[in-house]
Chain A
Amino acid sequence: MEAAMDLMRRISPKESETALSTLLSLLPHHSADLLSQVDLPLQVCMDQHLMKEFILCEYNRDADSYRSPWSNKYFPPLEDGPLPSAQLRKLEIEANEVFTVYRDQYYEGGISSVYIWEDHNESFIACFLIKKDGSRTGHGRRGYLQEGSWDAVHVIEVGPEEEGTAHYCLTSTVMLSLTTENKSSGTFNLSGSIRRQMSHDLSVAEGHLCNMGKMIEEMEGKLRNSLDQVYFGKTREMVCTLRPPPPDGIQLRLPEN
């Protein structure tokens, strides 16, 4: 299992689907661990009742069907598919509505879904998902990207309420790939994935959704920032080590004749 996880951080994230499916076939007895620890680009499905797309994950799956957060129905249809309690479903509906606005403000497009379900001891788990196609043929407003995808998975465990506070534990993963392409500069692709955790004890006075939302917003900001500043920056530093830029003031040697 350790070796499998080491492989997943070495192989390019663009190949993560192939890598995971081959690991699953080599290590069938670790399949549950692999599926929960390895994140893959998100898939979407159409809610046939409301004609609205939703995101698939392990948390809304039962057998081969997935529950839509919009109609609360399984697609393909499934009899007796488990549903959240009425109380959690109410929170789920509200979370989906608000998260749609949040997603629009930060992503200017994309798809989002939120799933909430009971955990043991009066606690619950919520999963916030965002998928954005930022390519110029997708939802890329500025049209800079030949190809661009951003998939975010936020799983947040909310402990039982005690004396007005609850414990929140958030695990977030972002997977992205962006490609720019033109004649003079060629193809430039950056792809990556990072996962981080954050825990807080917070007063529930303002409600769970407010607490979860703030944590997710803070985490997404941090992840975006470290991808941009640290991870992309390190790959750039490496290129400059391979071929250091000439000191300023030195002219290019132009072709003679």
Chain B
Amino acid sequence: MADGGDEPDEAEELSGRQKAEIAKWFLANAPAGEIQYVAKDVRSILGDDGIYEMAAAEAYPVHNKAHLIALQMPDRSGEVLITAYGELDKNNYFEPRTAQVATVDHVKQVCTNVRPASDEELPSPYIEEFRSTLADELSKYVGETYPKGTCAVYCISGKDAEGPGADFEFVIVISAAKYSPQNFCNGRWQSIWNVDFKDDPQFVEIKGKILVGSHYFEEGNVHLDAKNEFKDSTIFQSPEDCAASITNIICHRETEFMASLEESYVHLPDTTFKDLRRKLPVTRTLFPWNNTLQFSLTRDITRELEIGQ
């Protein structure tokens, strides 16, 4: 089929580009851990591997970054998170803990190679001290809190500052996923915290957002999406004190968010859900299907009364 078939007599038939756009939409909207299954379906519906591969090449990187997926690095040095903050180019991602650059295959969702980061890619020793102290403190917290969690701390501005007197900014990414397709259930947690170190006044501004998604689909399809945003601040101190207070703030906010999520679930059966449909009728007894004549009769009387008025 000709590309971009815009001829009016072909209005019913989609162009290759349109099909690819549809395929991309499905891939981009795949729930956590399900893109491979969505891809299989899309491929079979399209019946055209060329179009599918074009769509997959564009959609997978977007999906992988949005879902902050963690990939095992081939040298067993741990996992690299696929994030916009560590992206050097489409297939290369900076891993700050090991100071490596990981090359990834987006569609296969694997890391194929790692190399040590170059000096230009790394922060200055002054910044790195703040960053690595915070990263260490944070991985203790993530390790204790998320059974499948991964975190990374990136310096996204001011990484070359040699000493006090400069502003710089970190982004903390926490990502946890649990895929259980045999139980028809997948979920993910992600939180992203922007930490802005201001030299004058000595102040650290923290902005965060948490996103939680969970999908259960055994003979049905139910999605949970929960999110919230936060703002907080602390004093610009030594690397150790900053690491401790920032980690404490994050721990506190995330625990609070989790508690409010639980509360939303607790309120579901008796309050929230009731506004959609009650468990029992307002009469608190099952509907009198055996005796519905009363409703028709009452209506007739009401009608007659209305006419009589």
Chain A residues within 8 Å of B, Cβ to Cβ: 3-4, 6-15, 18-19, 22-23, 25-28, 94, 97-98, 101-102, 104-108, 132, 134-135, 140-145, 148-150, 176, 178, 180, 184-196, 206, 209-210, 213-214, 217, 220-221, 224-225, 227-228, 231-232, 234-239, 241-246, 252-257
Contacts and interface: CB of A to CB of B under 8 A. Distances in A.
B81 interface: no
Q: Which 10 A-B pairs have the closest CB atoms?
A: A186-B228, A192-B222, A185-B260, A105-B281, A194-B220, A238-B187, A3-B41, A234-B216, A134-B275, A235-B224
Contact of A232 (B12, B251, B265): B265
A193 B228 contact: no
A242 B189 contact: yes
Contacts of B248: 253-256
A107 B29 contact: no
B265 to A, nearest CB: 5
B257 interface: yes
Interface in B180-220: 180, 185-189, 210, 212, 214-217, 219-220
A26 B299 CA distance: 49
A132 B292 contact: no
A118 to B, nearest CB: 23
Contacts of A228: 268-269, 273
A241 B279 CA distance: 29
A4 B256 CA distance: 40
B113 interface: no
B265 A236 contact: yes
A236 B213 CA distance: 10
B37 A238 contact: no
A189 B224 contact: yes
A26 B277 contact: no
B220 A192 contact: yes
B46 A26 contact: yes
A149 B224 CA distance: 15
B70 interface: no
Nearest to A210: B289
B296 A97 contact: yes
Interface stretch (B18-26, B103-111, B115-123): B18-26
Interface centre among A94, A108, A214 (most CB of B within 10 A): A108
B281 A238 contact: no
A140 B252 CA distance: 34
B223 A239 contact: no
B165 interface: no
Nearest to B18: A25
Given A140-B275, A214-B289, A188 B261 contact: yes
B252 A255 contact: yes
Given A143-B275, A145-B276, 7 more contacts: A106-B278, A186-B228, A186-B257, A187-B226, A194-B222, A217-B287, A256-B245
Contact of B252 (A3, A28, A253): A253
Nearest to A228: B269
A145 B277 contact: no
Given A26-B46, A243-B254, A253-B248, A194 B219 contact: yes
B176 interface: yes
A231 B273 CA distance: 13
Given A12-B223, A188-B264, A235 B187 contact: yes
B37 A10 contact: yes
17 contacts: A4-B45, A10-B41, A11-B38, A26-B19, A106-B277, A106-B281, A106-B287, A150-B277, A176-B276, A214-B289, A228-B268, A235-B216, A238-B214, A238-B215, A243-B176, A243-B254, A253-B248
B306 interface: no
A185 B273 contact: no
A63 B290 CA distance: 38
Contacts of B272: 144-145, 148, 178, 180
Nearest to A27: B45
A149 B276 CA distance: 7
A188 B225 CA distance: 6
A210 B290 contact: yes
Given A8-B221, A234-B216, A243-B146, A186 B269 contact: no
Contacts of B90: none
Contact of A213 (B222, B227, B278, B289): B289
A97 B276 contact: no
B147 interface: yes
B42 interface: yes
Given A98-B295, A194-B220, A150 B276 contact: yes
B53 interface: no
Contacts of B216: 231, 234-235, 238
Contacts of A192: 220-223
A45 B304 CA distance: 28
B234 A255 contact: yes
A9 B260 contact: no
B187 A142 contact: no
Contacts of B228: 185-187
Given A176-B276, A188-B226, A252 B41 contact: no
